[in-house]
Structure 1
């Protein structure tokens, strides 16, 4: 992701819950637990510099695609064609 798409784990989970559309209860539990990162970030600088790579999707769009796929899956729909459509759409992006 680009710098402007760097978000906290809390933000990502909150967005996924909102995108799901139904009330999905969750809470951040402030008790001692195994270490979990609050902030996840990939360093893509080498891929950008050497390969000219850049992300095609913004984080919000990626989360929407993920949520759409899982909602279809959990409704018992055949996600094979939907997956192919998402791949084709991705490949057509500039």
Structure 2
């Protein structure tokens, strides 16, 4: 692929402004908490905890709060 064919990737961004305006939606977690959870997932899995167990725990925390 040439550079001219890849230019769009640099322009893509996530933006939840419309969801906020039309639906009143706000993200459940902010940037810091999201990055901490992502880093924690990788650390736990690399330390040997099964990925499904880490994922299940994080989904519980996300939807219901910490155990």
Q: Give the TM-score taking structure 1 as reference length.
A: 0.50
Question: What is the distance in 1 between the residues matched to 2:26 and 2:51?
Answer: 27
5+ residue gaps, structure 2: none
CA RMSD in angstroms, aligned pairs only? 2.4
Match of 1:55 among 20, 24, 27: 27
5+ residue gaps, structure 1: 1-32
Give 1 or 2: higher helix fraction. 2
Structure 1 runs, 4 residues or longer, greater than 6 Å off: 33-36
Q: Give the TM-score taking structure 2 as reference length.
A: 0.67
Please state if 1:73 is matched with 2:54: no
Q: Which structure is higher in RCO with an 8 Å CA cutoff and minimum separation 6?
A: 1
- Note the alpha carbon deviations across 1:36-74, whole angstroms, 9 max, x for none: 74xx74221111122221011111111110001011222
Larger radius of gyration: 2
Q: Which residue of 1 aligns with 2:63?
A: 91
